[in-house]
Chain A
Amino acid sequence: MKRLSGWSLIKIYTVLIYVWMFTPIVAVVLLSFNSQQFGSFPMEGLSFRWYVKLSQNASILDAFKNSLVLGSLTSIMTTAIAIPAAMAFVRYDFIGKEALNTLLLAPIMIPEVVLGVALLIFIRWLQQPKSFALLLIGHVVLTLPYVLLVVQARLVGIKRVYEEAAQTLGASPLQTFWAVTFPLLAPAIFAGMLFSFTISFDDVTATLFWATAQNQTVPVKIFGMLRDSISPEINALGAVMIFLTVSLPLAAGYISRRFARGSGA
């Protein structure tokens, strides 16, 4: 070896960073297959007993179901709000446009703790109990900025001339939206829904404030379990969560690329 060039130093540095970032995650996944109660390396045996135990834990399964339902509803509602909002911001001019846009994007900048407390105070002021609806509204507020940004960015890239062409050919504005704008926007909408789902599915901080005993989500459940003990079940649950949050976007990316190729765009 004649000399260690700058590039190889950067390569080594990069690898080290990744190792540092992923070792804890790998440890969780590995330990979830440990047969012993108290996990330590080297592992003494391989087993699925914690996964089996997990699948028999009714409260965790419940939380899982909650998370899935909440995530799905959040992504649908958020997208349903984000699409018309993005259309208004990008395609039309109206008074107070900048202010409204900033307002909708604000949850990105506000600390989640503040957001969580704020919504709680608001609900108290309305004298309403904590409920699943509150959780859903909270998550929509939380995820809307991300979806809005993705959809807006794509909409800016869709040249107006397509819509103009459609209208001169006889399509009304609504028909134009469904026949031209929506299909061209679809990849962004899909990505936005996925974003929204994973953010909702992962969120702890704000959800801690909004969840009730009946409406626990998986991350909140894990957080609660960690307070009492460090059960290897948590490793198994963590591994499942990691698998889901990593594989979903990957699958989505694959599907959207297939879409893109199919449409020749």
Chain B
Amino acid sequence: MEKEKNPGLVQFRGVMKRFGDVLAVEKTDLDIPEGSLVTLLGPSGCGKTTLLRMVAGLETPTEGDIYIKGNRINDVPIHKRNLGMIFQNYALFPHKTIFDNVAFGLKYRNIPKDQIKEKVSRALEMVRLPGVENRMPSQLSGGQQQRIALARAIVIEPDVLLMDEPLSALDENLREEMRLEIDNIQRMLGVTSIFVTHDQREALSMSDKIVVMEGGRKQQEGGPEEVYNNPANHFVADFLGHSNFVDGVIQSRDGDGYRVKLEDGNELMAEGGDWREGDAVEVVVRAQKLDIVPRDSHQTDDAVNCFFGKIKERSYMGGEVSYFVELENGTVLHVIGIVKTKPFRRGDPVAVTAPPRHCKLLRKES
């Protein structure tokens, strides 16, 4: 029988951090479930790294408590927390061989020499770099160095693995490979992990849970699909993916949906939420969820949420094309379409349809 997993292996309770006059993290409550990979996602300066560094002990919370396995760790010194941390710029000790780098944490844990040797070579095999024990960090490529850093962090069997933008110093191609590597190893070891990134693709592809942050505040917390499909507010909708935003007012309820009068004069059907007539709302539609067809092939004028316009800008991105469509009333919509036959050209007349179930309603933020 499998042991029950702790839903809050790491717990933040009212954690707040202030640097002088600057509020880096507002009062935050957060649970990191055992064995999961949780991503703190947000633009730079949103407080995600500060949150991570407080778990590591590299920063002290101004207020609030942090618990690991139920123990309050605020006053536990860094070196007694049993954490593995991976840094953006690898931070391998430049004067030590790869072996000494990976063995570093084991040396302070009273582990006999022969076991250290075995553990190190097992860790190096896990990151698929066996036999590099005697090299120096400077003799390895960036991607290899980050794998060594990963080996160094997991070899001590940490309670929590902390990763501070581990991929952002790597080249595009390498990043994808390394992301899969981290994902695999994390799942294989089942180590509870906190991953900090500003890259939504990284967050969406590898997380069990995403915590979107901005301005020192937690904006939304949930599974990748939930956060992507049901953004809690304008910031989350804007930060994840490409979205169109139009302001409007709820006119009436219509079955499962609502009839919304948009500020540009158009009317639109949207679904979801609980609204009353006259509520000021913001309609969000993902650029990928809009359908785009040539205007003349569009027959039924009475179709729901159908708008006519012209291609204003387009950029070809290989598998897909990003269009900016100017509607007849001047509103510009961002549409990302998959190229099936021939992409539209600038000036082509088109019809854009927004399926009501993909039109989400958000409360208008003043």
B interface residues, how many (CB within 8 angstroms):
30
Report yes or no: A166 in contact with B81, Cβ–Cβ below 8 A. no
Q: What's the minimum C-beta distance from B191 to chain A, rounded to whole angstroms?
A: 14
Taking the complex as formed, is B23 at the interface, i.e. its CB lies under 8 A from any CB of chain A? no
Report yes or no: A263 in contact with B94, Cβ–Cβ below 8 A. yes
With most chain A CB atoms within 10 A of its CB, the pick from B81, B95, B137 is: B95
Tell me which residues from 247 to 265 in chain A have a Cβ below 8 Å from any Cβ of chain B. 263-265
Report yes or no: B58 in contact with A166, Cβ–Cβ below 8 A. no
Give complex CA distance A263, B92 in Å.
Answer: 13
Taking the complex as formed, is A162 at the interface, i.e. its CB lies under 8 A from any CB of chain B? yes
A-B residue pairs, 9 tightest by C-beta = A264-B136, A169-B105, A170-B108, A168-B85, A167-B78, A165-B91, A161-B91, A263-B95, A265-B94
List the interface of chain A (C-beta within 8 A of B): 159, 161-162, 164-173, 175-176, 179-180, 183-184, 263-265
Taking the complex as formed, is B79 at the interface, i.e. its CB lies under 8 A from any CB of chain A? yes
Q: What's the minimum C-beta distance from A180 to chain B, rounded to whole angstroms?
A: 6
Taking the complex as formed, is B67 at the interface, i.e. its CB lies under 8 A from any CB of chain A? no
Identify which of B58, B87, B156 contacts A170 (C-beta below 8 A).
B156
Identify which of A168, A172, A265 contacts B95 (C-beta below 8 A).
A265
Taking the complex as formed, is B109 at the interface, i.e. its CB lies under 8 A from any CB of chain A? yes
Report yes or no: B93 in contact with A180, Cβ–Cβ below 8 A. yes
Give complex CA distance A173, B57 in Å.
Answer: 13
Report yes or no: A166 in contact with B56, Cβ–Cβ below 8 A. no
Taking the complex as formed, is B104 at the interface, i.e. its CB lies under 8 A from any CB of chain A? yes
**Please, which residues of chain A bring their CB within 8 A of the CB of B87?**
161, 164-165
A179-B104, A264-B138 given; A166·B94 CB < 8 A = no
Interface residues as binary, B140-166 with A (CB distance below 8 Å gives 1, 0 otherwise)? 000000000000110010000010000
Q: What's the minimum C-beta distance from B96 to chain A, rounded to whole angstroms?
A: 8
A161-B87, A161-B89 given; A169·B156 CB < 8 A = yes
**Please, which residues of chain A bring their CB within 8 A of the CB of B81?**
168
List the interface of chain B (C-beta within 8 A of A): 56-58, 77-85, 87, 89, 91, 93-95, 104-105, 108-109, 136-139, 152-153, 156, 162
Give complex CA distance A168, B56 in Å.
Answer: 7
Q: What's the minimum C-beta distance from A34 to chain B, rounded to whole angstroms?
A: 50
**Please, which residues of chain A bring their CB within 8 A of the CB of B95?**
183-184, 263, 265
Give complex CA distance A167, B59 in Å.
Answer: 13
Report yes or no: A165 in contact with B138, Cβ–Cβ below 8 A. no
Give complex CA distance A161, B105 in Å.
Answer: 15
29 A-B pairs (CB sep. < 8 Å): A159-B91, A161-B87, A164-B78, A164-B85, A165-B87, A166-B104, A167-B79, A168-B78, A168-B79, A168-B81, A168-B83, A168-B85, A169-B79, A169-B105, A170-B82, A170-B108, A170-B109, A170-B156, A171-B79, A171-B108, A172-B77, A172-B108, A175-B79, A175-B108, A184-B95, A263-B136, A264-B136, A264-B138, A264-B139
Give complex CA distance A241, B83 in Å.
Answer: 56
**Please, which residues of chain B bring their CB within 8 A of the CB of A161?**
87, 89, 91
Give complex CA distance A9, B125 in Å.
Answer: 63
Report yes or no: A169 in contact with B136, Cβ–Cβ below 8 A. no
Give complex CA distance A176, B79 in Å.
Answer: 10
Identify which of A170, A183, A264 contacts B105 (C-beta below 8 A).
A170
Report yes or no: A164 in contact with B58, Cβ–Cβ below 8 A. yes
Give complex CA distance A166, B85 in Å.
Answer: 10
Q: What's the minimum C-beta distance from A251 to chain B, rounded to whole angstroms?
A: 22
With most chain A CB atoms within 10 A of its CB, the pick from B93, B137, B153 is: B93
Q: What's the minimum C-beta distance from A179 to chain B, rounded to whole angstroms?
A: 7
**Please, which residues of chain A bring their CB within 8 A of the CB of B89?**
159, 161
Give complex CA distance A180, B96 in Å.
Answer: 9
Identify which of A171, A172, A183, A263 contacts B104 (C-beta below 8 A).
A171
Q: What's the minimum C-beta distance from A248 to chain B, rounded to whole angstroms?
A: 25
B152 to chain A: closest residue by CB: A169
Report yes or no: A168 in contact with B84, Cβ–Cβ below 8 A. yes
**Please, which residues of chain A bring their CB within 8 A of the CB of B136?**
263-265
Report yes or no: A164 in contact with B77, Cβ–Cβ below 8 A. no
**Please, which residues of chain B bring their CB within 8 A of the CB of A165?**
85, 87, 91, 93, 152
Q: What's the minimum C-beta distance from B143 to chain A, rounded to whole angstroms?
A: 18
B103 to chain A: closest residue by CB: A169
Report yes or no: B138 in contact with A265, Cβ–Cβ below 8 A. yes
Report yes or no: B156 in contact with A164, Cβ–Cβ below 8 A. no
Q: What's the minimum C-beta distance from A102 to chain B, rounded to whole angstroms?
A: 24
* Known contacts A162-B93, A184-B95; 8 further A-B pairs (Cβ under 8 A): A164-B58, A165-B93, A168-B83, A168-B162, A170-B156, A171-B79, A184-B94, A265-B136
